[in-house]
């Protein structure tokens, strides 16, 4: 394929190194770049641009083929093969073409020839050093030093003799170079090792109906390759949202990834779930997002963690009392934080101070000002308190259990008094409680309350969702009614279909007994993802993938929903 059509980045489980095109101004969309994804998505992370040269030093156009374990970059004059021999080392082997690596240099960056014949490149922006090691052939560097840095760094890798292959390895490290033993193995052994690692992952990936098998393979690759090793602020192996563009972990995205792992990889699922509780502030708050180098605290994300934990407990006996004891106090502190710090008018109904706090960043419920009180937030907190009651009972904390049960029931009463109207749920401004005019799907998330809702409530909500408002399309439920004046085909949370909204809605529909509608919605999502890829979100009318095309929570939700289609038991079909 042409490089600019490449949708999935090339990486492997555990690595912070990635090879992909960069579709941003100032970069060549027809070229591949070696990137470093430490430190989040506010930068491209570009470290080297990959160029191929023929015998006359002329740059070659090239195309790319990729499997999970091998990338083949083909030009008219020859081929460059690339693999990861370990999480920190990329191997590159060329035939017929020479490899030129041009470094992205900033203040103080330099290249230094080392006594052992290797080359060190010190990249201050990435806070890393890179070691280029010749395995076969030779490397030449042009890096004129001016005052405090190399003016530019150009590295040429080529064979010792004409028509002979060459091979180099590129390793990243922080302070001191320690030889990566994977360099001692052959290129083919490195390819085989990566392939075997992926096959083990794929074997543990949720099973899906046979006609989704190619989509399962893509979802397996995206989730496998998006894992990074525990490092810096990340106390556990962590699944990034993407190694394409969205190179962080947000504090509700991780929940969906944990859900997809709990059946076959429970320890890794638990790592994903607990990751943000490891980062929890003393006040109880969780950061909006984190990466290995910093956490962002200006916003947060909705408290879906109780709902997530219950979902996983219902499907796995692995979550023992010891593990529940591990998470009980952090989950309690996170719940109390909302009542202590996000209820400015002290009416017992917590608020969102910004759209980003809800996860639905620009939803129309935020059109008329902030802070906003919304029924989804109340529903999440009620379920979270129900879960805390259940855990407290298991742990013998009887007084706590009574307190959580009382508080959940009181909040449900307040929620219905506060938000329920003749036509369903509303959102309102905090303090004045003026209703916000919105046709957002977020107002239907309280389906997850299940039998706390009366049959009349369920009927009114379903009629509003299906009949009165046009949310449903052939691909699923749009996040904004498609007849709304605010609907936008690529309007983020003002139209496109998202994995989390679909997951919450399908579970909510099951909770109120609407199994067939839930199943139909799941099938629509799976068909769309299988056709359009694991995109960040999708055009609700066409099903086309939008934004980042390699998203883990989309992959995880696809796998969860497709897996439940295998036997249908979650929809009471047998």
Identify which of 328, 342, 327 has the alpha carbon closest to the alpha carbon of residue 283: 342
Q: Is 220 helix (H, G, I), strand (E, B) or coil?
A: helix
Would the CA dihedral through 298, 301, 306, 311 be positive or negative? negative
CA 502 to chain centre: 16
What does the domain layout of the chain look like in residue ranges?
Answer: 3-177, 209-571
Identify which of 481, 339, 468 has the alpha carbon closest to the alpha carbon of residue 404: 339
Radius of gyration of the chain (CA): 26
- Using one digit for the tens of pLDDT, what is the confidence trace for 378-405? 999 999 999 999 999 999 999 999 999 9
Residue 210 predicted with pLDDT over 80: yes
Residue 234 predicted with pLDDT over 50: yes
- What's the pLDDT score for residue 481? 98
Q: What is the mean pLDDT of residues 361-367?
A: 97
Identify which of 201, 205, 89, 101 has the alpha carbon closest to the alpha carbon of residue 153: 101
Would the CA dihedral through 342, 435, 469, 416 be positive or negative? positive
Q: What is the mean pLDDT of residues 293-301?
A: 98
Q: What is the mean pLDDT of residues 305-327?
A: 98
Q: What is the mean pLDDT of residues 466-489?
A: 97
Identify which of 419, 392, 396 has the alpha carbon closest to the alpha carbon of residue 405: 392
- Using one digit for the tens of pLDDT, what is the confidence trace for 220-233? 999 999 999 999 99
Contact 67, 8 (CB under 8 A): no
- What's the pLDDT score for residue 163? 63
Would the CA dihedral through 441, 443, 449, 452 be positive or negative? negative
- Residues forming a β-bridge with 101: 50, 155
Q: What is the mean pLDDT of residues 93-100?
A: 96
What CA–CA distance (Å, rounded) separates 381 from 175? 45
Burial of 369: CB neighbours in 10 Å, binned 0-12, 13-18, 19+: exposed
Q: Is 346 helix (H, G, I), strand (E, B) or coil?
A: coil
- What's the pLDDT score for residue 275? 98
Task: Provide the 10 A C-beta neighbour count for residue 96.
Answer: 19
Counting residues of the chain whose pLDDT is more than 90, the rounded percentage is 96
- What's the pLDDT score for residue 573? 45
Q: What is the mean pLDDT of residues 407-414?
A: 98
CA dihedral 491, 493, 499, 500 (to 10 degrees): 170
Q: What is the mean pLDDT of residues 145-169?
A: 91
- Residues forming a β-bridge with 138: 158
Give Cα separations from 108 to 45, 47, 111 (angstroms): 17, 14, 10
Q: What is the mean pLDDT of residues 238-246?
A: 97
Contact 430, 351 (CB under 8 A): yes
What CA–CA distance (Å, rounded) separates 479 from 487? 9
For 209-571, CATH number out of 3.40.50.10860, 3.40.50.1110, 1.50.10.10, 2.60.40.10 equals 1.50.10.10
* Euclidean distance between the first and the last CA atom of the chain, given in angstroms as a whole number: 44
- Residues forming a β-bridge with 326: none
Would the CA dihedral through 145, 149, 154, 155 be positive or negative? positive
- Burial letters 181-220, b for 16+ CB under 10 A, else e: ebbeeebeebbebbeebbeebbeebbebeeebeebbebbb
SS (H, E, C) 457-505: HHHHHHHHHHHHCCCEECCEECCECCCCCCCCCCCCCCCCEEHHHHHHH
Task: For residue 472, give both structure tokens.
Answer: 């449903």
Q: Residue 568 — very low, low, confident or very high, per pLDDT cuts 50/70/90?
A: confident
**What is the overall mean pLDDT for the chain?**
96
What CA–CA distance (Å, rounded) separates 87 from 89? 6
Task: For residue 557, give both structure tokens.
Answer: 């939700």
What CA–CA distance (Å, rounded) separates 438 from 471? 13
Residue 574 predicted with pLDDT over 60: no
Q: What is the mean pLDDT of residues 274-287?
A: 98
CATH code at 3-177: 2.70.98.10
- What's the pLDDT score for residue 571? 64
**258 Rama class: left (phi>0) / alpha (psi -120 to 50) / beta:** alpha
- What's the pLDDT score for residue 162? 63
Residue 243 predicted with pLDDT over 90: yes
Residue 161 predicted with pLDDT over 90: no
What CA–CA distance (Å, rounded) separates 550 from 7? 7
Q: Which residue has the higher pLDDT, 55 or 246?
A: 246
Identify which of 304, 325, 360 has the alpha carbon closest to the alpha carbon of residue 486: 360
Contact 14, 237 (CB under 8 A): yes
CA 430 to chain centre: 31
Contact 220, 15 (CB under 8 A): no
**Helix, strand, coil share of the chain (percent; to 5):** 40, 20, 40
What CA–CA distance (Å, rounded) separates 78 from 316? 51
Residues 6+ apart with CB under 8 A from 460: 422, 423, 424
Kind plus residue range of the DSSP H or E element containing 140: strand 138-142
Report field, pTM of the whole predicted structure over 0.95: yes
- What's the pLDDT score for residue 567? 74
Q: Residue 25 — very low, low, confident or very high, per pLDDT cuts 50/70/90?
A: confident
HSE value, Cβ hemisphere, 13 Å, CA-based, for 343: 15
Identical fold, 3-177 and 209-571: no
Residue 176 predicted with pLDDT over 60: yes
């Amino acid at each position: 394929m042409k490089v600019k059509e490449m949708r999935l980045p090339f990486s492997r489980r555990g690595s912070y190194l990635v090879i992909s095109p960069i579709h941003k101004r100032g970069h060549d969309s027809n070229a591949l770049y070696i990137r470093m994804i430490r430190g989040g998505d506010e930068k491209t992370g570009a470290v080297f641009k990959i160029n191929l040269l023929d015998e006359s030093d002329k740059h070659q156009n090239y195309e790319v083929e990729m499997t999970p374990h091998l990338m083949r970059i083909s030009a008219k004059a020859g081929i460059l093969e690339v693999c990861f021999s370990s999480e920190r080392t990329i191997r590159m082997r060329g035939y017929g073409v020479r490899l030129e690596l041009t470094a992205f240099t900033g203040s103080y960056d330099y290249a230094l020839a080392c006594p052992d014949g290797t080359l060190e490149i010190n990249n201050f922006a990435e806070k890393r050093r890179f070691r280029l090691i010749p395995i076969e052939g030779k490397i030449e560097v042009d890096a004129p030093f001016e005052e405090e840095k190399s003016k530019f760094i150009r590295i040429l890798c080529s064979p010792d003799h004409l028509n002979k292959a060459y091979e180099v390895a590129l390793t990243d490290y922080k302070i001191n170079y320690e030889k990566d033993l994977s360099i001692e193995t052959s290129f083919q052994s490195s390819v085989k090792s990566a392939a075997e690692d992926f096959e083990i992952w794929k074997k543990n990936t949720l099973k899906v109906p046979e006609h989704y098998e190619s989509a399962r393979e893509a979802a397996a690759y995206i989730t496998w390759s998006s894992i990074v090793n525990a490092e810096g602020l990340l106390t556990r192996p962590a699944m990034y949202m993407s190694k394409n563009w969205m190179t962080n972990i947000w504090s509700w995205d991780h929940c969906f990834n944990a859900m997809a792992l709990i059946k076959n990889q429970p320890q890794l699922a638990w790592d994903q779930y607990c990751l943000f509780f490891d980062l929890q502030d003393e006040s109880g708050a969780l950061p909006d997002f984190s990466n290995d180098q910093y956490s962002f605290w200006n916003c947060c994300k909705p408290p879906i963690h109780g709902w997530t934990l219950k979902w996983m407990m219902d499907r796995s006996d692995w979550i023992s009392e010891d593990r529940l004891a591990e998470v009980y106090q952090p989950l309690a502190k996170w719940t109390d934080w909302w009542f202590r710090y996000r209820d400015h008018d002290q009416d017992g109904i917590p608020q969102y101070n910004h759209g980003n706090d809800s996860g639905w960043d620009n939803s129309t419920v935020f059109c008329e000002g902030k802070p906003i009180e919304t029924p989804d937030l109340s529903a999440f907190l009620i379920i979270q308190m129900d879960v805390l009651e259940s855990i407290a009972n298991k742990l013998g904390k009887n007084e706590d259990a009574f307190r959580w049960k009382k508080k959940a029931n009181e909040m449900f009463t307040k929620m219905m008094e506060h938000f329920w109207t003749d036509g369903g749920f509303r959102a309102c401004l905090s303090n004045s409680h003026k209703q916000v005019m919105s046709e957002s799907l977020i107002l239907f998330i309280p389906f997850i309350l299940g039998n706390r809702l009366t049959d009349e409530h369920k009927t009114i909500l379903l009629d509003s969702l299906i009949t009165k408002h046009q949310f449903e399309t052939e691909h699923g439920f749009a996040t904004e009614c498609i007849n709304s004046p605010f609907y936008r085909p690529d309007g983020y949370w003002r139209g496109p279909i998202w994995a989390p909204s679909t997951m919450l809605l399908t579970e909510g529909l099951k909770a109120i007994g609407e199994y067939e509608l839930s199943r139909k919605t799941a099938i629509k999502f799976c068909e769309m993802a299988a056709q359009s890829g694991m995109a960040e979100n999708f055009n609700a009318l066409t099903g086309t993938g939008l934004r980042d095309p390699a998203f883990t929570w989309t992959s995880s939700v696809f796998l969860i929903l497709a897996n439940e289609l295998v036997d249908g038991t979650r929809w009471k079909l047998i």
